[in-house]
Structure 1
Amino acid sequence: MKLLAGFLLISSSLSLCCLFLSKLLEPEYFYGAEFDVRVINGFSTNSSLPLVIWCSSDDHGDIGGRALQEGDDFSWAVRSNFWGAAARFLCTVKWDSTRKRFDAFEAERDGRRCGPFRKCSWLVREDGFYFSSDEVNWKKDFSWF
């Protein structure tokens, strides 16, 4: 019985080591993981007034902006560096005379919550900003004010 328990312990330890090593050998750990960031105009009452968004990053500079009509989106890819760190992307969103700045992507916060497919989506609505990693299940992250 002790022999079997010892074998199972060694076997499970080896399996964990192999899994860890296989993760280290994946290309993304050498070249950086890529995250898809998307901001969607989820307003239902602004057909004549677009949602204006402008984003930038200290590492990547100004990535531009868009005037989004209902259902339109602005998206870009973020690649982390060798150590897993990625730039912080700060966006300013303007609707009529209301403005809000928010972190559309922050490596420490979003590394895990963007899910296994690394999808970081924001839905901007009249009552606030919603986050999702699958664009099916949305959770309100914060309000305009």
Structure 2
Amino acid sequence: MALISINQPDDYFEKIYNIHIINGFTNNSSVPLVVWCISSDNVDLGGRALQERDEFSWSVKSTFWKNTQFSCTMKFDNQRRSFQAFQRRRDIQRCYPTRECFWLVKEDGFYYSNDEIYWRKDFNWTLN
């Protein structure tokens, strides 16, 4: 009987992702973008009030066996929207290769990028 040993790096099944939420409003409003995020494990990141161009970021340790998720609620003036800021099954590919997940929140919706150069609009403030 042959025994094969495969040595994997310690972090082979664990990856660190950095999530960024940026206030991309350009109307010079004194009203902040209010952000509140919580994980699927009930880790509450608390609320933040972001002025124009401010950023809120955190790191997520994601494992192969668990679908780590962070849900965030955004509020600006009279608009409110909740969304998945990080979902391992969805973002393992789209945050690749940088493991950086950027969200730019603007007047017309929510934009995603993994490099802050190319942005793709993911959805609007209102549910369709």
> TM over 0.5: same fold?
yes
Q: Which structure has the greater CA radius of gyration?
A: 1
Kept after mapping to 2: 8 A contact 1:29/1:84? no
Q: Which has the higher strand share?
A: 2
State the SS of the aligned residue for 1:28: coil
Provide the C-alpha distance between the structure 1 equivalents of 2:114 and 2:53, rounded to a whole number of angstroms. 18
Distance 1:96 1:46, change over 3 A: farther
Provide the C-alpha distance between the structure 2 equivalents of 1:93 and 1:37, rounded to a whole number of angstroms. 15
Cα deviation code 1:34-58 (max 9, x no counterpart): 0000000000014311000000012
Match of 1:29 in 2: 12
Q: Percent identity?
A: 51
| Superposed displacement of residue 28, structure 1 | 1.8
Matches within 5 A, 1:1-145: 25-30=8-13, 32-81=14-63, 83-145=64-126
Q: Which has the higher helix share?
A: 1
Task: Report how many residues are paired.
Answer: 121
Quick one: which amino acid aligns to residue 36 of structure 2? W
Q: Which runs of 5 or more residues in structure 2 are unaligned? A: 1-5
Provide the C-alpha distance between the structure 2 equivalents of 1:86 and 1:28, rounded to a whole number of angstroms. 17
| Superposed displacement of residue 139, structure 1 | 0.4
Provide the C-alpha distance between the structure 1 equivalents of 2:65 and 2:112, rounded to a whole number of angstroms. 22
State the SS of the aligned residue for 2:11: helix
Whose RCO is larger (CA < 8 A, sep 6+)? 2
Provide the C-alpha distance between the structure 2 equivalents of 1:134 and 1:33, rounded to a whole number of angstroms. 18
Give the RMSD, CA atoms, in angstroms. 1.5
State the TM-score, normalizing by the size of structure 1.
Answer: 0.78
State the TM-score, normalizing by the size of structure 2.
Answer: 0.88
